[in-house]
Amino acid sequence: MAKVLPDQHGVQDLGPATAANYQRSLNAARRVYARADADDKKAISGMISDCEYVIEWLSTGRRPGNKRGVERLAAYQREKLVDPLRMQAFVSNAKAGSPSNLSDWERFQIEDALSRLSERERECYVMAHGECFSFGEIANMLGLSKGSVEEYVERAQKKISEDLQTSLFLVPPE
């Protein structure tokens, strides 16, 4: 392996971004930190911290500080209460009066779940999940705050998840 010499400004090219090359940079930064004056130590300690962060990320393959990787999502991140396509088909069928790809049983299940919600919860839930509006758009249309819309949708989801007895309406986690 060829030794890399510093250029006229003391800058070295250590090659591609690998954990070993970052380890060399970290060791060099620690040597410089030991000889630096108080003014330079703050900047060099930031470099050391950055190198340690990158080394951990490259060696583990995960972002440092995360408790779990993306392959192990929490239950609330995996779970979908309602198949979005079924909900959208339900809403489009209700608007146009046209036949949809939903069976009568699936339509009954959705109507039954929505009947347990208050009028405002139902309105916000259908707009969010059936018509795919953002909470901000729903808030503007209904004259509510974005936080209120979020609260209504969360309450509706909680009621639906507590009351559902059948698995046809649920979407299994991927």
| Per-residue model confidence as pLDDT tens digits over 86-117 | 676 777 666 555 556 777 777 777 788 888 88
Split into its structural domains, the chain has a count of 2
In a domain, 173, yes or no: no
Domain, as residue range, for 28: 19-60
* Residues 83 and 31 occupy one common structural domain: no
* Confidence (pLDDT) at 17: 81
Long-range contacts, stretch 150-157, CB < 8 angstroms, 24+ apart: 152/120, 152/121, 152/123, 152/124, 152/125, 153/121, 153/124, 153/125, 153/128, 153/129, 155/121, 156/117, 156/121, 156/122, 156/124, 156/125, 157/81, 157/125
Please indicate whether residue 69 or residue 26 has the higher confidence score (pLDDT): 26
Q: What is the pLDDT of residue 114?
A: 83
Q: Is residue 10 part of a domain?
A: no
- At residue 30 the predicted structure's pLDDT band, cuts being 50, 70 and 90, is very high
For position 169, what pLDDT does the model report?
47
pLDDT at 1: 46
The Cα 79–Cα 167 span in angstroms is 13
As a whole number, the mean pLDDT across the chain is 76
On whether both 46 and 90 belong to a single domain, the answer is: no
Q: Are residues 56 and 119 in the same domain?
A: no
Across residues 6-16, what is the average pLDDT? 67
pTM higher than 0.75 for the full model?
no
User: Which residue type, as a one-letter code, is found at position 48?
Assistant: I
For residues 104 and 137, membership in a common domain is answered with: yes
